[in-house]
Amino acid sequence: MSRDYSYLINTLSSWNFALIEKQISQLDLFYELLVEKNKVMNLTAITEFDEVIIKHFADSLSICTVLPDSVKTVCDLGTGAGFPGIPMAIAFPSLQFTLIDSLNKRIKFLQEVVDALGLNNVTLIHARAEEAGRNKLYRENFDLVVSRAVANISTLSEYCLPLVNIGGYFISYKSGDIQSEIEESGGAIKKLGGNLSKSVYFSLPDTDISRSFLIIKKKKYSKGVS
């Protein structure tokens, strides 16, 4: 393998997490497929290898620092080009992943990725975020729902919490300080059956990129979402 994965390996090591050689190879193939498809389809503005390693791979896998031990099933809502779902599925082969996106072209691309990487723990669903939580097949069906989608926490909670089973979690990937956003969204989170467990702030190593996780636990059935 000609590309240098030392940043990712060292970063994961600092988080007490490691990938085996096969998993690094799967990420490398994912990178190749992503860049090639991006030539004909707008998947991501980030295509330079070093940037993908930091802003897509390391960022996606930073969830290893907060992933609850009880999780068996994971939904990535609004997965886009497959982040964080594909790197997570590579890193956690014992977990079952469902990746949902509103654009069927992206789902078709991700199916190519899943087939090429031999990921037998991934299911791909074409659906709008607001529709998925109303579907009985998915509603309150996952131990963990994650999203890197760009939206405020109130909106993300409205889409994601209906998918979380009782006792499960919604973890939102956010940028920087989200305290004011947390304060504004408290009522919506509670109405949807959630309870703010904690927020975690950190920086990606050797960068000035500040990140945060908002961790919400599902305490009861959602209200206000039909």
pLDDT, tens only, 41-91: 999 999 999 999 999 999 999 999 999 999 999 999 999 999 999 999 999
111 compared with 153, residue with greater pLDDT: 111
What angle do the packed helices 153-160 and 179-191 form, to 10 degrees? 30
Cβ neighbours of residue 86 closer than 8 Å, sequence gap 6 or more = 30, 60, 79, 99, 110, 113, 114, 117, 119, 122
Percent with pLDDT over 70 in the chain: 97
pTM to 2 decimal places? 0.94
Beta bridge partners of 174: 212
- Where do the domains of the chain lie? 6-218
We find that the CATH architecture of domain 6-218 is: 3-Layer(aba) Sandwich (3.40)
Mean pLDDT of 35-42: 96
Average pLDDT of the chain? 94
Task: Average the pLDDT over 161-174 and give the result.
Answer: 96
For residue 119, is pLDDT > 60? Answer: yes
pLDDT of residue 141: 95
Residue type, 102: S
Using 50, 70 and 90 to split pLDDT, how confident is the model at 140? very high
> What pLDDT does 30 receive?
98
Asked if 193 and 219 count as a contact pair (C-beta separation under 8 A), the reply is yes
d(CA 130, CA 35): 29
SS (H, E, C) 136-193: CCCCCCEEEEEECCCCCHHHHHHHHHHHEEEEEEEEEEEECCCHHHHHHHHHHHHHCC
Question: ∠ CA(98), CA(149), CA(131), 5° rounding?
Answer: 55
